[in-house]
Each structure stands twice: as structure tokens, then as C-alpha cells.
Amino acid sequence: MQIVDRQFDAYQSFVLGCKLFWTNRMFPELYALYRHRAEELARRTGRAPAGAEDVSTLLDGDPLAASFGWMERHLQRMKYSGRWGLAPVHARQRDTIEAELAEPVGDILTLDPNFRQPDYYTAVDIHQHPGGVWSDSIAGYVYERGARTTTPTLQRDLDLHYRFTNLVVGMHKPRRLLDMGCGFGKSTRPFYETVRDADVVGIDLAEPCLRLAARDAVSAQARNVRFMQKDASKTGLGDGQFDVVTSTMLLHEMPPPVIRDLIAESYRLLEPGGVAVHLDFLPPDDPFLTYVHYGHGRRNNEPYMEPLAKMDVVGAMKASGFRNVRAMPFEEAPGALAAAGQRWRFPWTVIVGEKPV
């Protein structure tokens, strides 16, 4: 559904313009300030900052650092909850949205009327999305509109979801693929469009997102995809049903014990020779970038982002039985890795493991 409202569009464009200023101007200036102070520290003490806490100490009280954090926190709040924010504007369109969601989608969608959301998932409004993406029938639409500026859909060769799909298919062309934490289907669609002879299943906790994912798949006339309401850490699906298991931006929204359960579950669900490929965020060995990443998690209501960064995900994959496990940087857009440090970006990382034959 496309909301046609000039005030809404102007408001969201203003918020996005401020975020681009934060991304392209404030971030490199703060990075330059950090490097200057780190050099001064090295001259005085002979040591360099060793981690995010050292960076925080160096920048504590600086107006640029304070305004950098303030802008990120409050621009996200404005995006979702301001007068023309995503949540209130979509709420005014509730009848239209719910009518769209009531349209039949056939057997493409399976919901569980007795499904209980995990406590860690309901404890915080992730992304500052009021009530989270699970608690309101229109939340999938709010989330989809918000994601357009977080991971914008561009041409297929530029869109990160299609780039990730191409990477996965290049490793192991799927016949039966499971997309864990599929949300409203943005990560699933490139798979069911790219590999049309594969059976694709998307699972998620949030019914509102799954309803939108199914509706969009029907609109796309997809015949090789199904969506199911399942917990990725304990799906209840049968052993060895898939030859590829993926997730996109899912691990950082779970506490480490649940991540370990998900890894073990993905191993169980794979047939011998299958692969698991997870796209998520692991900051590089740079104290400043780690400091910014941890701050983003706090400011954006993502409490498990820092624990994931501190977790040995590769070790957890190996402990579950995966072999040839590796983590490697992912270039979400052409030239993004080469430009690292010149503008803010997520530390996109692909974690891959193979189930032995």
C-alpha cells in the first residue's frame, strides 16, 4: 500500500536528509577527531585505544560525539513516532491496510493461533518501532516502509538482498531453502524470484510481517514459496528437509543462547552436504568502529547487537558440527568496502558453514 500524503512525504524526506548528513558528514568528522585524539594519547602514553570503552573515554564530553549520538537516537524516534512518523500515519490508514491483509492468499501462509512469542523478543521495541513488529496487525506495513531507508531497494545488482542471494546461489544452488527470520519477505523474495525451481520457505515470529510477505508473494505470482509462523531456534520442522538455510539481520536480534540454539537447529534441518549462510553484523578490529556499532545498538533499541559482536559465532558453528566455517566481509553495495571509514555503514558480515556429508 502506498500512502499518498505530501506532509508525510516531506517529513520523512527531512528525517532521511538529516540521517544522510549524520552518515556522510558527522561520521567522518567524528572519526577524524578520534584519530587525532588517539595519536595524542599514543604520544603521551605510548599506547593506543584498545577497545570501545577506551574510545568512549577519549570522546567523552565532546560536543560532536554527543550530538552524533543524540541525532541517531532522535532521528529514529522521529521516523517512527513523530507527528508524521510511520506509526501514527499508518494507524490513520488502518482500515485500508487491514482490508488488504484480509484478501485471501491460499495455502501460501501458515499461522499458529497458539504461538507464544519469546520473552526476549517482546521485552523491547526493537528499532524503536512502537510495540514491536509483532503486536499490531499493521506493524508489517510500518516495518516495510521503514526498511526502505535502512536497506533501500535499488536496481537488482545494487540491492543488498539480491547481492546476498547471488552470493548464496553461487556457493550452493538451492533445491529446498529455508529463510529464517524472513520478516515481511524482503530477504525471501530474491530467492523465490532468482531460483524459481527451488522450494523456498520463509519463517518468522511476527504474524503481521508474515501476512504482508504472503500478500506480496501472491501479487508477484510466486508459486515456489511458503511462509510459516515459526521460532527459528526451535522450528518443529523435520530433520534434513533443506539443503540451504539462510538468515538476514536475524542473529543480532537474539541473545547468544538463542543464537546457539538457532545454529544447532539449522544444522539439524540441513541434509548432509547442505550449507548455512547468515548475513549479519560483526564489527572489524577497529576500536572506533566498534564504539559506533555498540552505540548504534543502544540508541536503536537493539540490545543483542553488542553481545553478538562479542560472541564467537564461528566457534559456535563449529561446536554444532559445521565444517569449513568462515566469516567474511560482505559488500552491500558496489564500492562499499573500499569506502569504509568515509561514511557510516553497518559492518556487514557473511558467516558460512557446511554440514559434512
pLDDT digits (tens, 9 = 90+) for 47-75: 999 999 999 999 999 999 999 999 999 99
Q: How many percent of the chain have pLDDT more than 90?
A: 92
Judge whether 118 and 68 are in contact, CB under 8 Å.
Answer: no
Pull the grid cell for residue 206.
511476527
pLDDT at residue 325 greater than cutoff 60:
yes
d(CA 218, CA 231): 23
Please tell me the pTM assigned to this model: 0.95
In the predicted model, what is the mean pLDDT of residues 100-128? 95
Q: What is the pLDDT of residue 150?
A: 73
The tens digit of pLDDT for each residue in 175-200 reads: 999 999 999 999 999 999 999 999 99
pLDDT at residue 261 greater than cutoff 90:
yes
d(CA 261, CA 278): 14
Q: Own/partner pairs for 326-331, CB < 8 Å, 24+ apart?
A: 326/351, 326/352, 327/282, 327/351, 327/352, 328/352, 329/284, 330/160, 330/163, 330/164, 330/167, 330/279, 331/163
| Cβ atoms within 10 Å, residue 317 | 26
d(CA 250, CA 233): 11
Report domain extents, the chain.
6-89, 148-354
The CATH architecture of the domain made up of 148-354 is: 3-Layer(aba) Sandwich (3.40)
The tens digit of pLDDT for each residue in 275-319 reads: 999 999 999 999 999 999 999 999 999 999 999 999 999 999 999
Q: What is the pLDDT of residue 338?
A: 87
pLDDT at residue 106 greater than cutoff 60:
yes
d(CA 210, CA 202): 8
User: Which residues are registered as beta bridge partners of 229?
Assistant: 204
Q: What is the pLDDT of residue 156?
A: 64
In the predicted model, what is the mean pLDDT of residues 132-150? 92
Q: How far is CA 262 from the centre of its chain?
A: 16
Q: What is the pLDDT of residue 65?
A: 98
Mean pLDDT, all residues of the chain: 95
Sheet of strand 242-248, all strands in order from the earlier edge strand to the far edge: 109-110, 225-229, 199-204, 176-180, 242-248, 270-281, 348-354, 323-329
**Count helices and strands in the chain by DSSP H and E runs:** 15, 8
Q: What is the pLDDT of residue 297?
A: 97
Residue type, 215: R
Judge whether 22 and 72 are in contact, CB under 8 Å.
Answer: yes
d(CA 74, CA 41): 32
**SS3 annotation, 130-184:** CCCCCCCCCHHHHHHHHHHHHCCCCCCCCCHHHHHHHHHHHHCCCCEEEEECCCC
Q: What is the pLDDT of residue 27?
A: 97
